[in-house]
Amino acid sequence: DTAVSQTPKYLVTQMGNDKSIKCEQNLGHDTMYWYKQDSKKFLKIMFSYNNKELIINETVPNRFSPKSPDKAHLNLHINSLELGDSAVYFCASSLELAGLPGNEQFFGPGTRLTVL
């Protein structure tokens, strides 16, 4: 079974549309994350949720809204998509907040979003 899964794997859409990316982890972790990897391959954290509560909220446009219906799921909703939103989005999870031993992050396979 896949530890961290994301759907869809590819998403192609027009500017101005609203889309969602779903993430699920079956590891029993309390913390989940969304990262964005742009065309230059820099991987930047966007959000972190711990026990369904928002912990990390980087400087991300409010068009991006994470939603965590339960500990195993963290979905990313994006409104009014722009060309600059094109990137690969990775979901990750860890036991608790990453940075201390035992809290290594497990990443999903990524969702490649292309905005036309």
Partner 1 sequence: DAKTTQPTSMDCAEGRAANLPCNHSTISGNEYVYWYRQIHSQGPQYIIHGLKNNETNEMASLIITEDRKSSTLILPHATLRDTAVYYCIVGDLMMDSSYKLIFGSGTRLLVRP
Residue of 15, 54, 100, 116 that binds partner 1 (CB under 8 A): 100
Instruction: Write down the least CB distance from residue 99 to partner 1, Å.
Output: 2
Pick the stretch among 10-18, 20-28, 74-82, 104-112 that binds partner 1 (CB under 8 A). Answer: 104-112
Measuring CA to CA, which residue among 77, 71, 69, 56 is closest to residue 26?
A: 71
**Closer residue to partner 1 in complex, CB, 15/100:** 100
Residue 95 binds to partner 1 (criterion: CB under 8 A): no
Residue 72 binds to partner 1 (criterion: CB under 8 A): no
Determine if residue 28 is left, alpha or beta; phi over 0 gives left, psi from -120 to 50 gives alpha, anything else beta: left
Residue 22 binds to partner 1 (criterion: CB under 8 A): no
Task: In whole angstroms, give the CA distance from residue 106 to residue 18.
Answer: 27
Maximum separation of any 2 CA atoms in the chain, in Å: 42
Instruction: Write down the least CB distance from residue 80 to partner 1, Å.
Output: 27
Instruction: Write down the least CB distance from residue 59 to partner 1, Å.
Output: 13
Instruction: Write down the least CB distance from residue 114 to partner 1, Å.
Output: 15
Q: Is 104 helix (H, G, I), strand (E, B) or coil?
A: coil
Residues 42-71 that bind partner 1 (CB under 8 A): 42-45, 48, 55-56
Per-position DSSP letters for 16-38, written without gaps between them: T--EEEEEEE-S--SEEEEEEE-
Measuring CA to CA, which residue among 114, 80, 108, 78 is closest to residue 7?
A: 108
